[in-house]
Amino acid sequence: MSSARLSELRISNEARTDVVELRRRLHDDGYLFFRGLLDPLRLLKLRREMLTVMQAGGWLAAGTDAIDGIANPDSRSTEGDLDYTDVYHQVYRLQSFHEIAHCREVLDVLEQIRGGEMIPQPQKIARLWFPRFTEHTTPIHQDFVHFQGTWDNLTCWSPVGDCPRELGGLAVLRGSHRVNRVLDHHFSLGAGSLHVDPAAHGELTDEWQTTDYEVGDTLIFPALTVHKALPNVTADRLRISLDNRYQRVGDPIAEHMLNPHLSSMSSLSWDDVYTNWNSDEFQYYWKIHNLPVLPKITLYLDQAFDEAIQLARSGDARAQLHLRRIALRDPTAPQGKLAASVLDTLTCR
């Protein structure tokens, strides 16, 4: 993984009301980064709420204060594991977690950039990343392969708490969106299971940029910008962050973005999510827009699954781990059955 050069993100706070300059920077760099765009106190309140749910799920070290996010190493899990989804979906029911995606400070910037009304897509995402579980770090990718819709969609990534480099914040490949196409993605462990090899795409530079994020900071980037997470190499801290996607109200949305995150892995409806909410202001808010719906493109993940099958057969431990997860969570689906049968033949050898 190329990280030869890891320089500082360009901060755009001083250009916040200068739409021409914001657009120029987005065009040049493939991202905009703002310090303190979100209210730190609101985020810290959310952090406590999220971590209190994780604590109840057994994810935190005994006797620690939830706000510190000190992990219980015995409960390590990641996206793709059923244990992860169990606790994650409890966090996912928090009203404040969904509401923060509607905050005006972020929408104002996005609407300036795109010049029209923007909304957060229904599917919000939190990442709850265990320390020293680095083979599951989010690999190098473009968001389009996962979230689809249009290339103009904007991702907003915000840590829920300070996120110094060692906690594994996001890094972007500066200017990479200018490839103006979806790059080849291959099987990988880590969120999304898809990665790009920059070395295989001659037009990409190695200008990786990141920072020591502080609570309230927000990184904004379009669907073609190449990015990755850094590994969480802290001794014991969970990394918690939000990544939500925003679109114009007239643009189409991919069908899976209308559902709660990871609901294909373990069922969760919006009515489930809304059970304990005390307001309906942000429930089903997207329905009035009648967004055109696009079928999900499954090609990227199907190709990665085929690669994982080949790699597992040739002895690749990471691919075998991936197939074990799929076999456990989808035992009756065609991919789950194929994964189980490949693993069986390997153990019978």
Ligand X SMILES: O=C(O)CCC(=O)C(=O)O
What are the tokens at 267?
């069922």
How big is the site for Fe ion, counted in residues (CB under 5 A)? 1
Which of 157, 187, 213, 246 is close enough to bind ligand X by CB under 6 A? 157
Q: Does 79 sit near Fe ion (CB under 5 A)?
A: no
- DSSP strand pairing (253-254 vs 293-294): parallel
Q: What is the dihedral of CA 179, 213, 273, 328, to 10 degrees?
A: 70
Exposed/middle/buried for residue 2 (C-beta within 10 Å: 0-12, 13-18, 19+): middle
Q: Which does 263 bind (CB under 5 to 8 A by kind): ligand X, Fe ion, none?
A: none
Which of 29, 79, 143, 251 is close enough to bind Fe ion by CB under 5 A? 143
Q: Does 138 sit near ligand X (CB under 6 A)?
A: yes
Q: Is residue 170 within 8 Å of 117, Cβ to Cβ? A: no
Q: Does 241 sit near ligand X (CB under 6 A)?
A: yes
Q: Does 143 sit near ligand X (CB under 6 A)?
A: yes
Exposed/middle/buried for residue 216 (C-beta within 10 Å: 0-12, 13-18, 19+): buried
- DSSP strand pairing (126-129 vs 170-173): unpaired
What are the tokens at 295?
């079928």
CA atoms within 13 Å, Cβ hemisphere of 87: 24
What are the tokens at 330?
């989808």
| Cβ at position 202, least distance to ligand X in Å | 24
| Cβ at position 242, least distance to ligand X in Å | 8
Q: Interaction with ligand X in 208-227: which residues (CB under 6 A)?
A: 227
Q: Interaction with ligand X in 4-43: which residues (CB under 6 A)?
A: none
Q: Does 307 sit near ligand X (CB under 6 A)?
A: no
What are the tokens at 74?
């015995």
Q: Does 217 sit near Fe ion (CB under 5 A)?
A: no
Tell me, rounded to whole angstroms, the distance of Cα 244 from its chain centroid.
8
Q: Which does 145 bind (CB under 5 to 8 A by kind): Fe ion, ligand X, none?
A: none
Q: Is residue 152 within 8 Å of 251, Cβ to Cβ? A: yes
Crossing angle for the helix pair 82-91 and 40-56, nearest 10 degrees? 130
Nearest-CB residue for ligand X = 243
Binding string, residues 172-201; x marks residues near ligand X by CB under 6 A: -------------------x----------
Q: Does 320 sit near ligand X (CB under 6 A)?
A: no
| Cβ at position 72, least distance to ligand X in Å | 20
- Of 70 and 265, which has the nearer Cβ to Fe ion? 265
| Cβ at position 209, least distance to ligand X in Å | 15
Helix (H, G, I), strand (E, B) or coil at 236: coil
Which of 79, 243, 251, 307 is close enough to bind ligand X by CB under 6 A? 243
Helix (H, G, I), strand (E, B) or coil at 228: strand
Q: Does 229 sit near ligand X (CB under 6 A)?
A: yes
Q: Which does 224 bind (CB under 5 to 8 A by kind): Fe ion, ligand X, none?
A: none
By the criterion CB under 6 A, which residues form the site for ligand X?
127, 138, 143, 155, 157, 170, 191, 227, 229, 241, 243
By the criterion CB under 5 A, which residues form the site for Fe ion?
143
